[in-house]
A and B are shown apart, each in its own frame.
Chain A
């Protein structure tokens, strides 16, 4: 039973570029949440996808967008990268929308913006 997988593991981009991160949820899970974790900080909620729609969104600008596919996998897109976007991006999957549902995290994608 595969857990949550994310790709790539590391990424280096320059300011102004665009990036796409990918996530495959744990088998049987239908909800994907994306988080940004800066060094030494807790995860910050970006958005959540369920039934191929964005259901909840945190306090992130429109440069951050996403998608969920029929097989429940998801992408996070960030446009016009800023230095401050450098962080660990975590994908978490769960069964159902509710926050009380346990979230299973992938290993993350570490993004460095130069």
Chain B
């Protein structure tokens, strides 16, 4: 069945270092969404990418959608403690009526 895979599962960084998570779909996606879930919280929508090769920025966060619309990435520059949480990508199922979620990448700031 259709799958969305995310790597890595965890990433430990020192505060101020960069962070990147990668998302790969088994099928071409019409769009991809990114969500952030803080520890003990619920997923919160960050952004949606629609176009092939699209790049969007939100302050220190850069989101990319691959040319083939099968992969995406989220890059955080100079991480801060407020960035801690799990980042999920999600793409529409073939039916276009439900989202298929990646397993998430947990960002951990080393003390």
Q: Interface on A for B, CB 8 Å cutoff?
A: 33, 41-45, 48, 55-56, 58, 90, 92, 97-100, 102-108
Contact = CB atoms under 8 A, between A and B. Distances in A.
Contact of B88 (A42, A48, A92, A107): A42
B85 interface: no
Contacts of B99: 45, 99, 103
Interface string B32-48: 01000000011111001
Contact of B30 (A97, A100, A105, A107): A100
B42 A102 contact: no
Contacts of A58: 98
A4 B109 CA distance: 30
Interface in B32-69: 33, 41-45, 48, 50
19 contacts: A41-B103, A41-B104, A42-B104, A56-B95, A56-B97, A56-B98, A92-B43, A98-B97, A99-B91, A99-B98, A100-B31, A100-B48, A100-B92, A102-B45, A102-B48, A103-B43, A103-B99, A104-B45, A107-B42
A33 B48 contact: no
Given A103-B45, A105-B42, A42 B98 contact: no
Interface of B: 6, 30-31, 33, 41-45, 48, 50, 88, 91-93, 95-104
Contacts of B102: 42
A25 to B, nearest CB: 14
A43 B43 contact: yes
Contacts of A100: 30-31, 48, 50, 92, 96
A43 B98 contact: no
